[in-house]
Chain A
């Protein structure tokens, strides 16, 4: 496998469970026992009600494209060969929105509101990224 040269995530003590989950083929996000909210990015307590009573919980991995853009300029040399590549903001069924790349779809077929589901991309031995592909609504 060729060396992975794209930027890697800033993994911290706070978001480690998210990245560990992806590596195990599961998307987990913090869930607040007090107010029932799921949130992203990770925070040390619920950003809605400030309860510390939360746990990491598996989420559906399903959502819709909330918005999306196509890069025509190669800011990163490591993305040069991908130009023009799409970045989507996916709204999960549970509420949080994640930035991601879409796979198995041509740029011209992407639309706001398009139903998508997570796929796991092992980009290095340590890091798995959550990408999304179209699903039947």
Chain B
């Protein structure tokens, strides 16, 4: 075991969130305050116990960490945040795990608070695409000069390439949307609860072809919060701890493109046949993928479920299209994914809603959609980072 190994050192001691919905017309600070208080209540903690904060998705769209501390009267010893991107959920948890392990803070709230529908100007593409307008373009392949804008357009590039390279179809991709909606139909807090069919998916309009509307996540309002502390401290709190057993950082470079794995051949990636190789998250947690009770992933677009599955070796390259059919990723399947309904059907809370669901699954609190005796769940993303959570 390497020096400084953090396997099971940190744990989640509380989770909280608001209602999720469209056009809620609520301030982001208001939403954040509710999510934080709910998480503290869940953990049996009070305001003075909270001394750390990590916010993902800050300026220019979400509520910032320093604003929240100031407005809500938090008493922080340490905080940090990421800019307005959804990919930083695992990074935030990893920072929090390091913060509590290093003694920088005792209890760290990790969260995002967003009101997409309350934002005054477009920010997902178009005139709000400030990142795309940067020198060297945007992080999802944006190049507004050619009308290439919005995170979904980069995912559409990956989807087209995937269909062409592996002979897959949009009908097969529908299975992802159908499965996550089925899960959301069992989740009273999900924004979209009405089940959909492959036909509904195929009949939904194209946004950025080949992706249909039902390949896209929701645009909504809400906040969700996960409290991280040491496992040792968590043992004395109200709820059963959920240990952070494995962590794998967020990779970057020319061989990476946010919506897929190396070798895929999008953006400046070299094209080659991808073989996952050992993923550090499994080594750290000392588990193998077959030990998992469920897999959660950042499903901003349906295709990301495929590229995440292939990246982590749940199936071979080009095989996720077939792998996701016949209910395999549904609750009763071999590898349930995103049992909350995901970003696509529960709501887009930057993946924080997924972390809340993982914790509740591992505590056995999910009612109708509970995975029987869930002990081990992974958060693993198309862009390569990961967490493995274990019931404490």
Contacts and interface: CB of A to CB of B under 8 A. Distances in A.
Interface of A: 6-10, 12, 14-15, 39-42, 47, 66-77, 79, 82, 84-85, 87, 89, 96-97, 99-101, 112-113, 129
Contacts of B267: 89, 97
8 contacts: A7-B133, A66-B161, A67-B160, A71-B209, A76-B126, A87-B153, A89-B266, A101-B146
A112 B146 contact: no
Interface in B194-243: 205-210
Nearest to A15: B135
Given A47-B254, A97-B267, A10 B133 contact: yes
Contacts of B373: none
Interface of B: 122, 125-127, 129, 132-137, 141, 143-150, 153, 156-158, 160-161, 164, 205-210, 254, 265-268
Nearest to B165: A112
A128 B155 CA distance: 28
Nearest to B253: A47
Contact of A99 (B122, B133, B143): B143
Contact of B122 (A9, A75, A89, A129): A75
B321 to A, nearest CB: 16
B207 A6 contact: no
A100 B125 CA distance: 17
Given A7-B133, A89-B157, A69 B149 contact: no
Contact of A69 (B144, B145, B153): B153
A101 B208 CA distance: 14
Given A10-B135, A69-B156, A89-B266, A99 B148 contact: yes
Given A40-B268, A75-B122, A129-B145, 6 more contacts: A41-B137, A67-B157, A67-B266, A72-B206, A75-B147, A99-B148
Nearest to A99: B143
Contacts of A100: 146
Nearest to B254: A47
Q: Which 9 A-B pairs have the closest CB atoms?
A: A75-B126, A75-B125, A7-B144, A70-B209, A69-B156, A99-B143, A112-B164, A67-B161, A72-B206
Contacts, number: 101
Contact of A10 (B122, B125, B126, B134): B134
Given A7-B133, A69-B209, A76 B161 contact: no
Which of A67, A68, A79, A101 has the most C-beta atoms of chain B within 10 angstroms of its own C-beta? Answer: A67
Contacts of B135: 10, 12, 14-15, 41
A17 to B, nearest CB: 14
A85 B145 contact: no
Contact of B153 (A12, A71, A97): A71
A40 B267 CA distance: 10
A129 B161 CA distance: 25
Contact of B160 (A14, A69, A85, A97): A69
Contacts of A10: 133-135
Contacts of A70: 206, 208-209
Nearest to A95: B268
A129 B146 CA distance: 9
Given A72-B208, A75-B122, A112-B161, A87 B148 contact: yes
B164 A67 contact: yes
A75 B161 contact: no
Which of B133, B143, B158 has the most C-beta atoms of chain A within 10 angstroms of its own C-beta? Answer: B143
A85 B147 contact: yes
Given A12-B135, A66-B161, A112-B164, A87 B147 contact: yes
B268 A72 contact: no
A99 B141 contact: yes
Given A41-B136, A87-B146, A100-B146, A69 B254 contact: no
Nearest to B267: A97
A100 B157 CA distance: 13
Contacts of B132: 7
A18 to B, nearest CB: 11
